[in-house]
Structures are given as C-alpha cells and as structure tokens.
Amino acid sequence: MTTMTIAKAINEGLRATLSHNPKSLLMGEDIGPLGGVYRVTDGLIGEFGPDRVVDTPLAESGIIGTAIGLALRGYLPVAEIQFDGFVFPGFNQITTQLAKMHSRSNGNLTVPVVIRIPYGGGIGSIEHHSESPEALFAHTPGLRIITPSNPHDAYWMIQQAVNCQDPVIVFEPKRRYWLKGEVDTESAGSAEDPFKANVVREGTDATVVVYGPLVPVALAAANAAAEDGRSIEVIDLRSISPIDFDAIEASVKKTGRLVVAHEAPTFGGIGGEIAARISERAFLSLEAPVIRVGGFHMPYPVAKIEEDYLPDIDRILEALDRTFAY
C-alpha cells in the first residue's frame, strides 16, 4: 500500500502500462516535457521517449483521428484531451468513427483507443474548463466510459482501460487530482472490474448514487444525515457506460429510496437514465420517486458563482429530505 494523489496514481498507472506493453503510447497537447497541464504525465517522456509520449499538434480531431489510425495498426494509444470543453472538436471522430469502427467492420476491426478527459468544475476556472459532457458520450453505443473517484481506482482503471479491446473514455475528476488515498499497486486481485460499481458506504434507509468528483460530497452528506439518524448507502458508480444497474437495484431493494447526483445538467443526464431503469426494475421496492440532483440547464456558469451551480452536501441532503417526505 502506498499513499498518493489521484494525479500521481494515474501517472503511475500510465507508467506501468508503458512498461508492460511496448505497443502502448500516450499522445496529447503538452503531455511531454511539461507533463500535462495537470502534470499527470510528468516524467514519462524522459523515461519512455517521444515515440511513446507524443506531444501532438494542437488539434483534437487530429489527436483522436490519428489515435484511431494507430489502433488500426495494432497500437494502444492513450489520448489526452486537455480539458472537458475542448473535446468537441474531436467529437466527430469519437462518435462517428471511434465508436462505430468495430460495428461497421462487422467485427473485423478493433480500435482500443483510450481517451483521458479531465472534467468537472469546482476549480475556479474559466469558460470551457469545468464541464461534464459524459452523457453525450454515454448516449453513443460503442463507447465505454469510466470515472475513478479515488487513487486506487485511478491507478487500476487507467490500466484496465488500456487493456480493454473497446474504446474507453476515462473522465478524470480534475478537482480531485490532489485527493490522497491508499493504492495497492502490488496485487492485481485488488483491482475491481472497472465497469462495476462500488458500495462505498453501507446504509439501510436510502441510496445515493454518485460518481467521480461527487463521491466525497455524497459521503459527507451521508455522514451529516447519520447525525439525524438516517442510514444512507452511497454507491460510487465508477462506470457511466455501461452502468452497473444490478448494484443499484440491489441497493434500492434494500433501502427503498434513491437519489442520483452528478455535476452535469440534470436534464437528459445520466441521473434520468438511472431513474428510469430503476423505476422499471424495482418499482415495487421504491418508497418514493427517484430524485435527481444535478447542474442547472445552463452553460456552466462563471467561476464566481459556480458554488451555486454545483451539487453540494446541502443539495444532496435536501434531495434526501424530499425522498423521506413520501
């Protein structure tokens, strides 16, 4: 067990990947000598050279598109998009090409590309640097989407993403890059299936489903609720596509109440999908409607008011109050 930050854990995960698999390579803007704007690739170009850690031209479509070509040639590219809001110039390549190459080739071609995207708000940044576009990709068949919330997951999930034969987008919660935690780098057995959810806090009265940056928020809300005598179960989704509905269903059948929270706008978001599925699967177990907590239907607001936008402990507690009101 070693203690490290999420940023360091991803760095170590990438280092392990580059060491173990000569066909893996990293590509993106400023990931070389600078080590990425969040220093996630710090030191890797020195160890592995510019063929394995490729500083690319400033061109997101080019980055994703050439990653697809490299994957077609048998390579395992890990492409970094510098910030969430900059993925859109590459959106066409991701949704019309990357997601569909296996299907349109009738299974003959595989494109095991990994795309890393720092996402989410709460860092006081400027426009296009705080968005949560995960639902736009989750809606696209052919992609897998995961998001770690702690260093141990971050270390293992990036490696598992590279080993997955399908394209995987890893949304990295940028405001948690400096969150420290224990990482078991020794035992491969300690790595959970990256597409399974984790129950990170057990409870009996209500379930809160969250992922990525909101996991610590939900845990704090659950602790606060405990002071009022409410036992809240918290599920860290980990995978946004596919979603581990079995884990959520099992929890709801125990607690009878469900709150889903994410930073992305509520409308059309992952929370709505979870609410609908759980209503189908466990309607008779629900004591109350599924309550969603999310961002408002507006472009991510300016930093000075982002605290009003982001779901926080109080917003989750308010949602719990509403579910207990039934």
Partner 1 sequence: MGATHLPSTEFDGTELDDQLEAQAEAALGVPPTEMVQLLGPDGTLGTHSVFSEYVERLDAEKLRGFYADMAAIRRFDQEATALQRQGQLALWVPLTGQEAAQIGSGRASQPQDYIFPTYREHGVALTRNVDLAELLKQFRGVSNGGWNPKDTNFHLYTLVLAAQTPHAVGYAMGIQRDQRLAEAQGVEGSAEPKAAVMVYFGDGASSEGDVHESMVFASSYNAPVVFFCQNNHWAISVPTAVQTRIPLSNRAKGYGFPGIRVDGNDVIAVHAVTEWALEHARQGNGPVLIEAFTYRVGAHTTADDPTKYRESSEEALWREKDPLDRLEKYLRAEGMADEAFFAKVAAEGDELAAYIRKSTYASDAPDIRTAFANTYVEAHPLVAEELAWFEEYSAGFAGGDEGEGAGR
173 membership: H or E segment, kind and range? strand 168-173
Contact of 214 with 132, CB cutoff 8 Å:
no
Q: Which runs of E-coded beta strand occur in 49-121?
A: 53-55, 76-80, 114-119
Cβ 156 to partner 1 shortest distance, Å: 17
Binding mask 81-110 for partner 1 (x = CB under 8 A): --------x--xx--xx--x-xxxxxxxxx
Q: Is residue 276 within the footprint of partner 1 (CB under 8 A)?
A: no
Instruction: Characterize the bridge pairing of strands 114-119 and 144-146.
Output: unpaired
Q: Is 70 in the site for partner 1 (CB under 8 A)?
A: yes
The helix/strand/coil state of 16 is helix
Asked about 129 being catalytic, the answer comes back as yes
Does position 159 interact with partner 1 (CB under 8 A)? The reply is no
Q: How far is the CB of 78 from partner 1 (least distance, A)?
A: 13
164 is a site residue for partner 1 (CB under 8 A): yes
- Exactly one of 20, 102, 128, 129 is catalytic; which is it? 129
Q: What is the token pair recorded at 97?
A: 């090409």
Tell whether residue 250 is a contact of partner 1 (CB under 8 A). no
CA-closest candidate to residue 237, choices 255, 218, 257, 265: 218
For partner 1, the binding residue among 6, 10, 45, 71 (CB under 8 A) is 71
Q: Give the burial class of 107: count Cβ atoms within 10 A of its Cβ; 0-12 exposed, 13-18 middle, 19 or more buried.
A: exposed
Determine contact, residues 123/130, Cβ cutoff 8 Å: yes
Which 165-184 residues touch partner 1, going by CB under 8 A? 165-166
User: Which sequence positions are flagged as catalytic?
Assistant: 129
Binding site for partner 1 (CB under 8 A): 22, 25, 51, 56-57, 59, 61-62, 64-75, 77, 89, 92-93, 96-97, 100, 102-110, 112, 141-142, 144, 164-166, 195, 241-246
